[in-house]
Structure 1
Amino acid sequence: MSLWMTEEAVRWGMRVCSRSFPWQQRGFLGTTSVQDSSSPRRRLCHIWASTQSQNISSKSVVSPARFYSNGFSSSDELEESKRLSYSPANSDRVAAWKASPLLSQLPSCGSPSDVLDLATQLPPTFREVSNCLDRMWTTTKKMTEEQRRHELRLMFEHPALDAFLQKAMKLVGGMRISDMTYSLLSMIGLGVPEKSRVIQTFLRACQERLNDFDEKNLSILATCLDQLEDSPSVNTLKEGVKLIVKTRLPTIKNVFSLQTMICLLGKDVPPDLKRALERKALSMTEQFSVTNAQHMFSTMASTGFYSKPLLSFCSTKILENLNGVPFNTMFRLLQSCKELLYRDADLLNGISDHVASTIDVWTNKQLVLFLFLYDHLNFCPTALMEAFSEKVIANPEALTLKNLLCVLKVYSSLNYDLQHRRQQFLDSLSQVLDSYLPKMSGFELLKAVYCLCLLGHFPSAPLEQLLQSGALEQLAASNFRGRDRMFQTVDLCLRIDRPQLPRPLSVPASLLGDLSPGNPSVSSRVLQFLQGALHDQARATLQEMVVVERFYLVDGVITKPLTNRSSETEASAGDGCSPAESSQRIAAIYVPPSGFCSGTSTPRGHLATKIRHLKILGYTPVLITEQDLKSVSEESAADFLWERIFPERRASDLKPEVEQLGS
């Protein structure tokens, strides 16, 4: 009884809201009189001109352009279509549909204009209108953009289009709901203006029969509404769809229907409804198939609906059934993890291990796309990176330029240590890079050299080509994002790493931009803890916010006497020993979680390069993470930092205890 009352309330609400729909207002209909629209060709050309400016977008807004139905109002059209309503019980009509000459010839139509020509010769019935619209839209999907524009221009200029759409308006009330929603979707896909009479009539028909929509047709309608701009009619229908979903949620019995409902609700879902959806989904986990688990990831990603318990269950289900999962499904899964910021180590490592063990099944392009997504997830897929490096070493020429640039980006960003294969892998990449040098743009060359510098690898050929006057002039003329930062890193690596090159190379000062760190800031909490750790260390000094080489910001530099040298300091001073030789400089660096690969202490590319350079310059880097200082008192944090800065003191304190235990 309560369900019936709710549906009646929804129906009543829709009727009240419909009174404010623009197609029912005289002022709106008066923007273009029937007499003004007497020339279908002129009116359709006007629509085309408007849609062309929107790249034939389904979101075209053409207020005065509407398809009229010989003086009918939208209410008249719906009433007329109800009188012409199709009855499924009429077996003669069903048989006629099966033997329809129009439907038998429809697959041979190769463009929207072909369909209109056929519909002129063989007037369509209720069901056939939907088939015609669907065929018109389908023919444009496989066309190039230029060909699609041309065919749509011909369609909008076709003299039969106006009569065809008028007939669609007359028949909409008698259509099956599936035909009605597919027709609406096809017209939107073809670029029919959303404020045209035909679109508004179909929206009104959907409104009147909304309570009869099943999950599939609700999903199609929601897809249509997502492609339309906000308006009273569209917004009212969206609210109606949400009311229907809320009403039917307790009665949902299968997982696919639940996922469809979640998609229909979209991103603007109240917290209480999100919790209800989560409870409903968790109560149905026993029904989840592998496909349901995979689809749940993309469903949650598209709606911004995050439920860790549900994702954890789906992850386990997917991990148990990775064999045979096609590339598109695996790619969508990783992409959903990226959008949800979901980094389940078991799932991501499981996918990495699976792809690595079946590496010969995947193309280089597919493998590079996997690596690309892992990089965006800030997660290092150890097994996959190891297996892919072996594949590159075996056949480096198989990499395209685009794949090569992506591989350089991922391996430099994730800073994966290939150990004994590292040099061989980098040499293989350099070999391929050399072969592409003649056809590379300046931007591509800069990106490649920048990534190689992060990896600590300096092949001479790309460096020399990058730093030639021609390439530098081309790059100086462009001002793409990150250009100065990349040049600064290349320059810093050449100065600090000092690679062995045939001739000295350097980056012109004009391309370095502002070398000082932008908006330098340090963690006040870290400085407070550092000061607490050094408060009783008279021989240690702390310098706050130190900029090294006008590029690297260090939160604090602690200078202390070298171990076992404190008693010899005065003697060494008499021998002319410099302070740097008799002291140790510790660079305390606060690193946010994004500085490491997810779930590990492996620093990512920029941080790894910073550590490498600080070591060359004589510093001892000490990394301080958010986790180190999380939920600890100032005293505990000071003790922790004291142990990191003075490890030799900790060892000397433990030595007597060990000797005492031994005795």
Structure 2
Amino acid sequence: MNSKARSLLWTIRRFSTLLPRSRALRIDPLGTCRPEVIHSKWNPRNHRLNVFDEGLQPSVRYLFQDIFISKSVDGCIQTKGISHSAVFKPDRLLCPRRLSFDAKHSFVSDGTSDHDLKKINFHHTSSEDVFTKKVRPTPVNYKKLAQECNSLSDVLDTFSKAPTFPGSNYFLAMWIIAKRISEDKRRFERQLMFSHPAFNQLCEQMMREAKIMHYDHLLFSLNAIVKLGIPQNTLMVQTLLRTIQERINECDERCLSILSTALVSMEPCMNVNALRAGLRILVDQQVWNIKHVFTLQTVMKCIGKDAPSALKKKLEVTPDFSDNVHGCPFKVLISILQSCRDLRYQNEDLFKSIAEYVATTFDIWKLKQVIFFLLLFETLGFRPPGLMDKLMEKVVQEPGSLNVKNIVSILHVYSSLNHVHKIHNREFLEALASALTGCLHHISSESLLNAVHSFCMMNYFPLAPINQLIKENIINELLTSGDTEKNIHKLHVLNTCLKLDESTYKSVHIPLPQLPLSASQPNEKLAEVLSRLLEGEGRFSRNVPLPHNYHIDFEIRMDTNRTQVFSFSDVDASSATNMQRVAVLCVPKSVYCLNSCHPRGLMAMKIRHLNVMGFHVILIHNWELKKLKMEDAVTFVRKKIYSDEVLPTADTTV
């Protein structure tokens, strides 16, 4: 090498030492090939949802492996809503092949391709000169962008002028704007968004960034994109779904909530179904780590009421949420209970936590809020004694604070759940009757019927409301308008209670159409058990009709001490004065309050009326009988029939 060449190399080396090691040339994410100087002290963690976190995964992931798109024509994949032309299925990555991020490396490009990035070493230095004065443009803040822009097109205009990383922030900003405008305007803005020249460019950037984006940011992006109405079968949406599926092990509790929210509004397809299946597996593994009720709610919504019974059971018996329920706003708690009702989840620990929280903070809640809680608990079959006692005491103290809607709702809940206060029950019913009497001049006929029906179920008969209800014009209105079938059923209950219970209206009879006979099939296993136990079917009768539209599954005739069973063909025995009629009812769990042996209102009323008609009532739980072998079932029923067991009225665990 001649002296001139050696001199040139020495000069180049000397010049290179003057450059700061933190300076790196980098291709712009959109492929504009603009050199940038990265500031050495720029921290991506300072910008939530605007940039990526430091903890990027070093593993290699690939896009578009068996991705499901709507249809393929001649090697092309047709997309809808994003591109007006066919898009060829890529055979190479739209993002870096290999990603790494640590204190000694940065990404640069050789300038030949957007897809091939090289990794070079750099060393941090505290020296600052003219090169480090040029910092990377600050990533756009999606909240600020949503405030500054008035339409979806404004956001895309901002993007086209100076595209910044990450592209997800533009979608988030557009979704915030879309939420605050009317539906008609939103539809028009969506059309403008699809036709905007920068929209395809933004979608392409979003796909390139999907592999390196922090996982919760990726989920937020999918949710915003779906809510914006971008067609689900487009390449971008399917790319995001596949990427999320590949990285699902990065899910924590927060990500579970976001992913569940996004999937709820998506239609079934290959990638959505696969992701939902993966979510179910993940929830099955992590259900015991869920600490927040809102996460549980969103996961339940996504999994749905058709989830496998084992998984549903896990969600129903998750640990107590008392610590997390405290401080939750009213709307969140109501939304959780509504989700449990709609999806048929019976998480008793969760219900108890909410009920105890409302009871201990009773004074901070409005009356209508407490009633709303109780109405939802009633639909769930859950009876919270502490909270219900609190409300009873408030009604006794302040009956003047009740309006018609409050009165009817309270009566419905307490009669349906068959709740009785040990001390203030009579005062509670009198306070409600007095409040209802004061509203008779403006109450509707159906509301009056609902209130009186509830009173009758609780064996209480207020004079003024009943006198108002049994007027001929009121009865005619109920029989000809509204939900007539339901009205007729409630009027039959009223007739029955007036006749059988201790009321002053025994001579009153309301003429009503006959109720249709409901088909009843007594439990076949119980019939076989009774046949073996009583040595033949001549000693019991099945499906026995009774007055007042009642019927019982089985009737047995015994002596008053319930030690001997009489045959139905034995006339002398059946006419004996010491005979006791026994009604055997095979009942499901639904006749009880949730996970207890406390009978609900209709069953409690039936037991009361059967006792009035001279029956001793025995309840056989069909779910217990079903799991017993025949020999054990015979022993089980024998103990029920030949014992002096008192029917339970208090809460006990089933």
* TM-score normalised per structure 1: 0.67
In structure 1, the partner of 2:108 is: none
Once the two structures are superposed, the pairs formed by residues 442-591 of structure 1 within 5 Å of their partners are 442-480=445-483, 482-501=486-505, 504-509=507-512, 513-535=513-535, 541-563=539-561, 579=575, 581-591=577-587
- The 1:648–1:450 alpha-carbon spacing in structure 2 relative to 1, beyond 3 Å, is closer
> Residue by residue, what CA displacement relative to the aligned partner does 1:102-152 show, whole Å, maximum 9, x if unpaired?
xxxxxxxxxxxxxxxxxxxxxxxx99984366x6xxxxxxxxxxxxxxxxx
> Residue by residue, what CA displacement relative to the aligned partner does 1:82-120 show, whole Å, maximum 9, x if unpaired?
xxxxxxx9999989x99xxxxxxxxxxxxxxxxxxxxxx
- The 1:165–1:323 alpha-carbon spacing in structure 2 relative to 1, beyond 3 Å, is closer
> Residue by residue, what CA displacement relative to the aligned partner does 1:360-413 show, whole Å, maximum 9, x if unpaired?
222211211121121122111111111211111111122232222111111011
Distance in 2 between the 1:275 and 1:233 partners? Answer: 21
In structure 1, the partner of 2:303 is: 304
Distance in 2 between the 1:375 and 1:622 partners? Answer: 26
Q: Which amino acid aligns with 1:486?
A: K
Distance in 1 between the 2:435 and 2:552 partners? Answer: 37
**Counterpart of 1:281 in 2: which secondary structure?**
helix
Query: Contact 1:561–1:584 (CA<8 Å) still a contact in 2?
Result: yes
- The 1:551–1:131 alpha-carbon spacing in structure 2 relative to 1, beyond 3 Å, is same
Determine which of 429, 432, 456 is the counterpart of 1:429: 432
- The 1:329–1:314 alpha-carbon spacing in structure 2 relative to 1, beyond 3 Å, is farther
Query: Contact 1:263–1:303 (CA<8 Å) still a contact in 2?
Result: yes
**Counterpart of 1:6 in 2: which secondary structure?**
coil
In structure 2, the partner of 1:186 is: 177
Once the two structures are superposed, the pairs formed by residues 23-62 of structure 1 within 5 Å of their partners are none
- The 1:409–1:238 alpha-carbon spacing in structure 2 relative to 1, beyond 3 Å, is farther
Determine which of 261, 281, 284 is the counterpart of 1:276: 281
Larger Rg: 2
In structure 2, the partner of 1:331 is: 334
CA RMSD of aligned residues (A): 4.2
In structure 1, the partner of 2:367 is: 364
Q: Decide which structure has greater helix share.
A: 1
Query: Contact 2:219–2:255 (CA<8 Å) still a contact in 1?
Result: no
Query: Contact 2:64–2:239 (CA<8 Å) still a contact in 1?
Result: no
In structure 2, the partner of 1:150 is: none
Distance in 2 between the 1:218 and 1:547 partners? Answer: 60
- The 1:3–1:200 alpha-carbon spacing in structure 2 relative to 1, beyond 3 Å, is farther
In structure 1, the partner of 2:12 is: none
Q: Which amino acid aligns with 2:191?
A: R
In structure 2, the partner of 1:609 is: 605
Give unmatched runs, 5+ long, in structure 2: 1-56, 87-132, 646-654
Distance in 2 between the 1:567 and 1:245 partners? Answer: 69
In structure 1, the partner of 2:595 is: 599
Determine which of 233, 253, 256 is the counterpart of 1:255: 253
In structure 2, the partner of 1:656 is: none
Distance in 2 between the 1:393 and 1:356 partners? Answer: 17
Distance in 2 between the 1:332 and 1:382 partners? Answer: 22
Distance in 2 between the 1:397 and 1:558 partners? Answer: 50
Distance in 2 between the 1:388 and 1:564 partners? Answer: 42
Query: Contact 2:543–2:552 (CA<8 Å) still a contact in 1?
Result: yes
> Residue by residue, what CA displacement relative to the aligned partner does 1:24-49 show, whole Å, maximum 9, x if unpaired?
5699xxxxxxxxxxxxxxxxxxxxxx
In structure 2, the partner of 1:222 is: 223
Distance in 1 between the 2:345 and 2:388 partners? Answer: 20
Determine which of 78, 103, 106 is the counterpart of 1:19: 78
* TM-score normalised per structure 2: 0.68
Distance in 2 between the 1:185 and 1:315 partners? Answer: 35
Give unmatched runs, 5+ long, in structure 1: 28-88, 99-125, 136-163, 650-663
Task: Return the offset for 1:474.
Answer: 2.2
- The 1:18–1:405 alpha-carbon spacing in structure 2 relative to 1, beyond 3 Å, is farther
Task: Return the offset for 1:348.
Answer: 2.9
Query: Contact 2:553–2:583 (CA<8 Å) still a contact in 1?
Result: yes
Distance in 1 between the 2:300 and 2:203 partners? Answer: 28
In structure 2, the partner of 1:131 is: 147
Aligned-pair identity (%): 22
Distance in 2 between the 1:568 and 1:94 partners? Answer: 92
Query: Contact 2:418–2:604 (CA<8 Å) still a contact in 1?
Result: yes
In structure 1, the partner of 2:615 is: 619
Query: Contact 2:248–2:278 (CA<8 Å) still a contact in 1?
Result: no
Q: Which amino acid aligns with 2:418?
A: N
**Counterpart of 1:365 in 2: which secondary structure?**
helix
Greater relative contact order: 1 or 2 (C-alpha under 8 angstroms, separation 6 or more)?
A: 1
- The 1:349–1:641 alpha-carbon spacing in structure 2 relative to 1, beyond 3 Å, is same
Q: Which amino acid aligns with 1:7?
A: L
Distance in 1 between the 2:533 and 2:446 partners? Answer: 47
- The 1:533–1:234 alpha-carbon spacing in structure 2 relative to 1, beyond 3 Å, is same
Query: Contact 1:258–1:281 (CA<8 Å) still a contact in 2?
Result: no
Distance in 1 between the 2:356 and 2:333 partners? Answer: 13
In structure 1, the partner of 2:194 is: 200
Q: Which amino acid aligns with 1:19?
A: Q
Distance in 1 between the 2:325 and 2:152 partners? Answer: 48
**Counterpart of 2:577 in 1: which secondary structure?**
helix
Query: Contact 2:558–2:566 (CA<8 Å) still a contact in 1?
Result: no
- The 1:255–1:585 alpha-carbon spacing in structure 2 relative to 1, beyond 3 Å, is same
Task: Return the offset for 1:181.
Answer: 3.5
Distance in 2 between the 1:626 and 1:299 partners? Answer: 34
Query: Contact 1:379–1:598 (CA<8 Å) still a contact in 2?
Result: yes
Task: Return the offset for 1:466.
Answer: 1.3
Distance in 1 between the 2:566 and 2:524 partners? Answer: 35
